[in-house]
Amino acid sequence: MKGFWAPIACGGLSDVYRGRLFDGTLVAVKAWRITAQQNIGQNAEQLLHAAHELYTWSKCKHPNVLRLLGLATFRDRIGMVSPWMGNGTLPQYIKTNPNTNRHNLCVQICEGLSYLHNTGVVHGDLKGINVLISEDGTPVLADFGSSTMKDQSLKIAHLGENRALTVRWSAPELLKARENSGQTKHSDVYALGMVCAST
């Protein structure tokens, strides 16, 4: 896989790069800030977070959920590879395509979230920038770093349960709790409403 030099997006624990497979296909690589040479003990929490996201994401197969193509080492870092979404995030797409069928976008986002919930997955961080738009205008849910999965056959311990919340998309009960008690299907639905309202 060949990559480009600068990340196109940066998150709390990872950076996203645009890359190209050897056959020329454009892909996105979410590269965790953990190198393959580092002692696992130095980054145990980040490694567990990456393993959790990879496990949850690998179980998801739906047209409105971003597909995981595989795992790779990228610049000596662990990278999750997915198809390149050339139309960017939902807010970017709406801005550059103001006449798009917003109702249809919302219906498809609902279908993606319904699929996740029916398979026991709580997204946990649904917001406009975590909805990507494919080349043909199909919205796909992305970023499973805050997700939870019911009845996991693989148990992954969480070293740090306090996850950051994005206030605008967070259900009131999550904001009122003294400690982040964790996202639920209900809080996902609240976030879905906020996504649709801003679409």
- Please answer whether residues 102 and 59 qualify as being in contact, where contact means their C-beta atoms are separated by less than 8 angstroms: no
Look at the block and give the residue holding tokens 């953990």.
34
Distances in Å between the Cα of 44 and the Cα atoms of 33, 39, 157 are: 12, 9, 10
The residue annotated as part of the active site, out of 15, 125, 143, 188, is: 125
Catalytic, 76? Answer: no
Q: Integer distance in angstroms from the first to the last C-alpha of the chain?
A: 35
Q: Cα(81)–Cα(101) distance, rounded to whole angstroms?
A: 29
- The DSSP result for 146-198, as a single string, is T-EETT-SS----S-------GGGS-HHHHHSSS-----HHHHHHHHHHHHHT
Produce one character per residue of 156-189: b if its CB has 16 or more CB atoms within 10 Å, e if not. Answer: eeeeeeebebeeebbbeebeeeeeeeebebebbb
- Which residues form the catalytic set? 125
